[in-house]
Structure 1
């Protein structure tokens, strides 16, 4: 049995927007899955400290008023989420996130915004090893193993492709669990992916993402939108300037 049969940590954020360096956390979920079944989860509702755009509220259902009334300060939420993820990494358990470059970059930006220790620094303090722990991104893997499949590559589309039930799309815990189950389904369909060790899979995803980003940037150039830069770094955008407070 490969990595997909062991413990996996699903991670998802619902946010104020689509730009990871500027958007803020609204909800977060960390779901522990073993053998395809949920064995534990942590959920957070944050007050992001800014207004939640109506377009974002329409997607995840959290309004500015609700976040202010029921949510905890986003600084506390970001700190706790980071500690939970790092605790799993310290045990060698991979974090699974659909489009990990978005969620992990956004979390890292929140940590920097509030003067909190970075993910890599937290893990180094526990293990003495630099960098972050293993990440599994079903989106990046799916693009690599089924490059020419037509259609969207959203989480909903991936669930349909791999026969994964998604109950409550854009609810953080549902999306986190679905991401794990899509990752498992991809590994079961593609033995070469299942056979990789976690360090090798992580490095392959770095390469696959860079290849995709280069191709997508070329497509943008052909369409005359080359000013839309696609950062090839995975799973954290680099360089990542420290966002300003506000």
Structure 2
């Protein structure tokens, strides 16, 4: 049976910002779906321990006041999230994450910040990730327009309810992956292990292409040095992720 006809686990975070080294988790969702079994979903709201900028609150709808009043302690949320994901990964289920290197790196730094064993240290080489954003860029490189989840949902005719809520985004990402795998043989016809390895190479190629674009674009040359090629996780540097 093709991997995409089995169980998948959508994973999504909403955060205080886009700096993987300094920003924090606000909401999280882990949703298992497919494979002929009922959907299983778990969601968390964290008190991130820092102010949630207004710009971030406008995206996901969670204010600092709400997070402090209703959110669980960040360390507790991070620990529960790592445990939930580790259970899924060790069962052989692929993680589906839109722009996976962002969410998995944020989670990794949060774990290290709060003294929680990081996911990668628990699951090691068993981690298998499927990234719809990365896959879409690989199979349709020259399509005009955005590559956000809303864009992919329109392109692949996937229903998205409540964009920028972690649970809605996680389910929609799984649906997009299913559509991609059904449409493109290099995705759906690949084994999961081979697809994971292929994505590592594709991510590096896509990042190098972006860096090259920045180097050749007046006014953007400095951005080339900020492009990271690692996927699905940016490795932690010594003393990193402890801010």
| Structure 1 residues 27-46: aligned runs within 5 Å | 27-35=27-35, 39-46=39-46
Aligned to 2:93: 93
Q: Is 1:225 paired with 2:223? A: no
CA RMSD of aligned residues (A): 1.4
Shift of 1:226: 3.1
| Structure 1 residues 59-98: aligned runs within 5 Å | 59-98=59-98
Q: Hey, what's the Cα distance between the residues in 1 that align with 2:105 and 2:120? A: 12
> Do 2:21 and 2:241's aligned partners in 1 also have CA atoms closer than 8 Å?
yes
Aligned to 1:126: none
Cα distance per residue 1:156-196 (max 9 Å; x no partner): 00000000000000000000000000000000110221011
Aligned to 1:173: 167
Shift of 1:227: 2.6
Q: Hey, what's the Cα distance between the residues in 2 that align with 1:37 and 1:60? A: 29
Shift of 1:121: 1.9
> Do 2:13 and 2:166's aligned partners in 1 also have CA atoms closer than 8 Å?
yes
| Structure 1 residues 43-54: aligned runs within 5 Å | 43-54=43-54
CA gap of 1:178–1:210, structure 2 versus 1, over 3 A, is same
Q: Hey, what's the Cα distance between the residues in 2 that align with 1:132 and 1:18? A: 27
Shift of 1:131: 3.5
- Structure 2 residue runs without a partner (length 5+): none
TM-score (norm 1): 0.93
CA gap of 1:71–1:216, structure 2 versus 1, over 3 A, is same
> Do 2:4 and 2:178's aligned partners in 1 also have CA atoms closer than 8 Å?
yes
Aligned to 1:191: 185
1:137 to 124, 128, 131: 131
Cα distance per residue 1:95-122 (max 9 Å; x no partner): 0001001000000010011121111222
Aligned to 2:241: 243
Q: Hey, what's the Cα distance between the residues in 2 that align with 1:4 and 1:102? A: 23
Cα distance per residue 1:112-167 (max 9 Å; x no partner): 111211112222xxxxxx34510000011111111111110000000000000000
Structure 1 SS opposite 2:222: coil
Aligned to 1:127: none
> Do 1:10 and 1:179's aligned partners in 2 also have CA atoms closer than 8 Å?
yes
> Do 1:119 and 1:132's aligned partners in 2 also have CA atoms closer than 8 Å?
no
Q: Hey, what's the Cα distance between the residues in 1 that align with 2:120 and 2:213? A: 33
Aligned to 2:119: 119
Structure 1 SS opposite 2:221: coil
> Do 2:51 and 2:64's aligned partners in 1 also have CA atoms closer than 8 Å?
yes
Q: Hey, what's the Cα distance between the residues in 2 that align with 1:240 and 1:173? A: 30
- Of 109-118 and 62-71, the range deviating more from structure 2: 109-118
Q: Hey, what's the Cα distance between the residues in 1 that align with 2:242 and 2:109? A: 10
